[in-house]
């Protein structure tokens, strides 16, 4: 039992400490955050087993749990729903090109557009946004901007910008006074921003889509296929964490130079136990942590236990409501929304 306890203590320290090490320094450290829930559960189980046996060794898993308390706080929340909250409402959604239900044919589900269009958010950011100027009923920019009711900025990442393309979009009920590109990977990853005039204040809104985890979720639907791809998947996870670390460097530099309060939203492809998440948390606050409920998982595939879509803000903005829309089954990601207020807020 001493050996098992000692081994778990060492593993716990390695896993907990991994969040402070960039994958650029040690490439495979980006894989360790996946073990955080496993380590926490193992320590809980070992503590109770040793405590019930009146073993002094119970002190060690208890210490590990105390060291890992932050991971409990960012994993599960008990905040009230507060669905009638009054403030600035925002929405983030990886729309999967609007064709998740019909990938072979590429046919959009019109219900996707309707849901996004009808959601009461004042600001909406969409990743994997598909735009088609050639067919009237597929002109997503025209439809989701409500033909001029919402300002918008759209940055294509791939395709023919004047015909068919996909990229990232920001829609705002309030005037967009400036916009730009933070970085562009020329495929389906990037980060854009828009400066939005809200009453007397100006906010900088970021729409971010960091490098994919490259997890082939379908391959894990049965044991045999999972055996075939797990080594390849580990390699992709390692490469993805390194790419996101480099993208995060660019993003953090841009954030540091923002002249306004910030709302950062999007598909970060990062667990709340990662180095990138903790680096963002040094200067920003996470809306789920302050106003969410439950686990807040956002991945709508077999690996359902992933929370990789996030909303961050600077400290002056107070999140008073957060929701993961698990009822919206139009993409491989669930939309997330939040409501904020701040001193001097004028709707």
- Write down the domain spans for the chain: 2-75, 88-341
| Global pTM exceeds 0.85 | yes
Helix ranges (H only) for the chain are 2-17, 36-52, 59-67, 69-75, 110-118, 140-144, 223-256, 275-281, 287-291
pLDDT of res. 100 = 54
Distances (CA, A) of 67 to 199, 263, 287: 43, 30, 23
**Alpha-carbon span 128 to 333, nearest angstrom:** 11
Q: With contact defined as beta carbons under 8 Å apart, do 289 and 336 qualify?
A: no
pLDDT per position as a tens digit, 212-240: 876 665 555 555 555 555 566 677 777 88
**Over 70: is that where the pLDDT of 43 sits?**
yes
Percent of the chain with pLDDT over 90: 63
pLDDT of res. 104 = 45
**Alpha-carbon span 290 to 288, nearest angstrom:** 5
Of 3.30.365.10, 3.60.20.10, 3.40.50.1220, 3.60.10.10, the CATH number of 88-341 is: 3.60.10.10
pLDDT per position as a tens digit, 60-119: 999 999 999 899 989 999 888 888 889 999 999 999 988 755 554 445 556 788 899 999
pLDDT of res. 301 = 80
């Amino acid at each position: 039992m001493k050996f098992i306890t000692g081994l778990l203590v060492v593993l716990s320290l390695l896993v907990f400490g991994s969040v402070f090490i960039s994958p650029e320094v040690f490439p495979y450290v980006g894989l360790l955050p996946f073990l955080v829930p496993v380590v926490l559960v193992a320590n809980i189980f070992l503590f109770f087993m040793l405590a019930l046996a009146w073993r002094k060794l119970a002190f060690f898993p208890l210490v590990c749990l105390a060291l890992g308390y932050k991971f409990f706080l960012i994993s599960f929340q008990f905040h009230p729903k507060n669905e009638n909250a009054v403030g600035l409402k925002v929405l983030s959604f990886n729309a999967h090109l609007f064709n998740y239900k019909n990938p072979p044919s590429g046919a959009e589900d019109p219900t996707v557009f309707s849901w996004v269009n009808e959601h009461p958010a004042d600001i909406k950011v969409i990743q994997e946004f598909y735009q088609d100027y050639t067919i009237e009923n597929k002109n997503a920019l025209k439809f989701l901007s409500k033909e001029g009711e919402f300002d918008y900025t759209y940055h294509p990442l791939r395709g023919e910008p004047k015909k068919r393309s996909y990229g990232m979009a920001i829609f705002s009920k309030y005037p967009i006074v400036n916009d730009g590109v933070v970085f562009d990977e020329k495929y389906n990853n990037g980060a854009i921003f828009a400066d939005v005039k809200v009453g007397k204040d100006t906010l900088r809104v970021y729409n971010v889509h960091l490098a994919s985890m490259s997890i082939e979720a379908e391959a894990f639907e049965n044991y045999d296929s999972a055996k075939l791809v797990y080594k390849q998947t580990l390699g992709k996870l390692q490469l993805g964490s390194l790419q996101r670390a480099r993208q995060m460097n660019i993003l953090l530099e841009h954030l540091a130079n923002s002249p306004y309060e910030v709302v950062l939203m999007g598909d970060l492809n990062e667990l709340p136990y990662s180095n990138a998440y903790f680096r963002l948390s040094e200067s920003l606050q996470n809306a789920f942590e302050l106003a969410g409920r439950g686990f807040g998982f956002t991945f709508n595939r077999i690996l359902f236990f992933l929370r990789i879509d996030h909303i961050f803000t600077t400290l002056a903005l107070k999140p008073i409501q957060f929701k993961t829309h698990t009822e919206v089954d139009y993409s491989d990601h669930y939309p997330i929304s939040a409501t904020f207020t701040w001193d001097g807020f004028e709707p």
